[in-house]
Amino acid sequence: MKERLQIAQRLTTNEPRAARQMAALEPLLAKRIDFTRGIMTARQAEGLEGAKKSLLSDSGGESLHEIQKAISKFQEDQKVLLRERDKASYLQAETTKWTVLTGIGLNFLLLGFTAWLVKDDISARNRAARAMEEANAQLETKVQERTAELAAANEVLRAENLERQWGSKSLEHQLRYSNLIINSINDLVFVLAKSLMITRVNPAVSHATGMGTQELITTKLTSFMRPRDGAVDPSGPEPCAQALKEGRDLQNFPVILVDKQGKTKSYSMNLYPLRDRDKVVGGVVTLHADGNGGGK
């Protein structure tokens, strides 16, 4: 009994109220044990009569009632305590349940939010990819258009370049051909400024005068050619200058040419005014060898 009481006391160490109840129960139990021992002692000493006398003189009946009352009170308190604990346990379980449910709910919310974020990010990336594709397509179109423009411009430039080359060759050909015609003439050909300054001659002139082309250019025609005696009035104006001034031809005009060695030769001269937009800017003189003289 004592041992069991100690176990009960250890179990209630953390509960002051129960510990106090246990402490109050201990003397009552000790008293009851002593009473029981007294009965057993009377039984051994005086037999059943002694035991019966002791039981009848039960001074411990009151203590037994107190014990029962204390135990009932203890039991009642323990039941209350158990109910409180059960209630607390239930509340804790409810709290745990709601905590778990709230956590699960939050997890779902977080999961949903994360899914929304991922979806939004994927949508944004898709939009960006589409925008980039469109930009690339536009860029490619622009590049193609620009390339076509450049190719067309290049083609135009190439054609213009060829046209210029063609024009240059054409002019070169025409000039060479014109020179060929003039140079192949056996008559002496002079191109004159209006002042009778020589600006161009054909090879026949150099051959007849003995002077080089460079020597003849910028020399006045009248410095080595003069009208044949009697052809004009010596006191009158120089006939070539006068004809150019008046813008008229001279045909078969008799002249004398003096070469570099001072030798003279008779020629028949023709003079044609050079007109540029109806304005006489010079003249062309041709001399044809003519020993007979004559003319105007």
Partner 1 sequence: MAQSKKHILIVDDEADVRDVLALALTAKGYRVTGAETPHEGVRLVKSDPPNLVISDLQMEDSDGLEMIEQIKTISPDMPVILLTGMIFDAETVRNTISKKVSCYLEKTSSLQRVTQEAQRLLGDLKSA
User: In the complex, what is the shortest distance from the CB of residue 148 to partner 1, in angstroms, rounded to a whole number?
Assistant: 17
Q: How far apart are alpha carbons 15 and 5 in whole angstroms?
A: 15
User: In the complex, what is the shortest distance from the CB of residue 175 to partner 1, in angstroms, rounded to a whole number?
Assistant: 10
User: In the complex, what is the shortest distance from the CB of residue 154 to partner 1, in angstroms, rounded to a whole number?
Assistant: 11
Whichever of 111 and 162 has its CB closer to partner 1, that residue is 162
Whichever of 107 and 170 has its CB closer to partner 1, that residue is 170
Footprint of partner 1 (CB under 8 A): 155, 158-159, 162-163, 165-167, 169-171, 173-174, 177
User: In the complex, what is the shortest distance from the CB of residue 165 to partner 1, in angstroms, rounded to a whole number?
Assistant: 5
Whichever of 92 and 165 has its CB closer to partner 1, that residue is 165
Phi, psi for residue 291 in degrees, rounded to 5: -75, -15
User: In the complex, what is the shortest distance from the CB of residue 205 to partner 1, in angstroms, rounded to a whole number?
Assistant: 25
User: In the complex, what is the shortest distance from the CB of residue 284 to partner 1, in angstroms, rounded to a whole number?
Assistant: 18
Whichever of 174 and 213 has its CB closer to partner 1, that residue is 174
Whichever of 91 and 171 has its CB closer to partner 1, that residue is 171
Whichever of 178 and 213 has its CB closer to partner 1, that residue is 178
